[in-house]
């Protein structure tokens, strides 16, 4: 006999761009100052929808196309400056307007657009993509309780060519890796953090954590990816007392020394072959 277990449904990859316009404070300038944001939204709903699965009864189902339209409508009236605040606004709208919903999950990411600098001055309405990483949030709320927020950064691609070693590991009959005290350390990191207490200062928290992660990665005398990961997580906690824990996933994207001896050439850590498959996977949660 079959029984319906945990279930949810929603709308994914709802994309929107938003321009926020401000009056130029310089009275000699007649153009506006713009802020630009590009978001991707996923809405997931849980609640009284069992009959749609088991009885083909759609009477309690909010169409996913309506969810898409709701994203755009709520965004039109929203003054949210961060994806965290907008995710909560959007989730609260669904809970307030649809009684069948018992739990809402809003997942969002934001591209890192930043104002372009031309001749040393910021352009009022021109932007460039700062990097490939995405700002992320997962906001969850059960009806009658508060929000649970996990923010993060996905795809933070960083590399250093000094202060990185790997020695002292297990060597058995299948080990071919040579120890090194001078290697390239590269990763495409995914970082998430859970908030310990309510806050509205999400942009500041994100900026402090990112600055701490990058500073630690650059300056750390790494004995392994694990060694540097823990140092980065610790620095993130110290930079943001608002968070309870931070999780880092740091694949080791290898750069292998090219073999030039067949050509009669040496290779004093000068020419490398970058590979991304296979790669090491190192993950950990750093808690208070």
The residues that are catalytic are: 11, 64, 254
* Of 241, 136, 147, the residue nearest 196 (C-alpha): 241
In sequence order, which ranges of the chain are alpha helices (DSSP H)? Answer: 50-54, 64-77, 83-97, 202-219, 225-239
Report the SS3 class of residue 288: coil
Is-contact 233 248, C-beta < 8 A? yes
Radius of gyration (Cα) for the chain, nearest Å? 24
| C-alpha dihedral sign at 158, 160, 163, 167 | positive
C-alpha dihedral over 74, 77, 82, 84, to 10 degrees? -40
């Amino acid at each position: 006999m079959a029984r319906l277990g945990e279930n949810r449904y929603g709308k994914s990859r709802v994309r929107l761009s938003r321009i926020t316009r401000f009056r130029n404070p310089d009275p000699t300038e007649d153009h506006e100052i713009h802020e630009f944001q590009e978001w991707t939204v996923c809405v997931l709903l849980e609640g009284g929808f069992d009959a749609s699965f088991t009885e083909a009864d759609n009477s309690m189902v909010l169409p996913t196309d309506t969810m898409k339209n709701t994203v755009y409508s709520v965004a039109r009236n929203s003054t949210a400056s961060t994806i965290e605040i907008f995710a909560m606004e959007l989730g609260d709208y669904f809970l307030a307007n649809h009684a069948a919903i018992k739990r809402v999950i809003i997942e969002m990411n934001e591209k890192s657009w930043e104002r372009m600098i031309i001749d040393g001055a910021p352009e009022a309405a021109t932007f460039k993509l700062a990097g490939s990483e995405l700002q992320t949030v997962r906001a969850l709320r059960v009806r009658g309780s508060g929000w649970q927020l996990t923010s993060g950064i996905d795809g933070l691609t960083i590399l250093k060519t000094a202060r990185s070693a790997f020695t002292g590991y297990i060597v058995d009959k299948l080990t071919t890796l040579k120890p090194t005290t001078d290697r390239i350390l590269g990763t495409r990191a995914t970082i998430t953090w859970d908030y310990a207490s309510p806050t509205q200062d999400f942009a500041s928290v994100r900026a402090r954590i990112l600055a701490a992660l990058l500073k630690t990665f650059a300056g750390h005398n790494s004995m392994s990816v694990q060694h540097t990961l823990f140092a980065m997580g610790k620095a993130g906690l110290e930079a943001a007392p608002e968070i309870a824990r931070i999780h880092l996933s740091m694949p080791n994207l290898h750069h292998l020394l090219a073999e030039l001896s067949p050509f009669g050439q040496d290779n004093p850590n000068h020419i490398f072959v970058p590979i991304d498959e296979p790669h090491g996977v190192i993950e950990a949660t750093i808690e208070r």
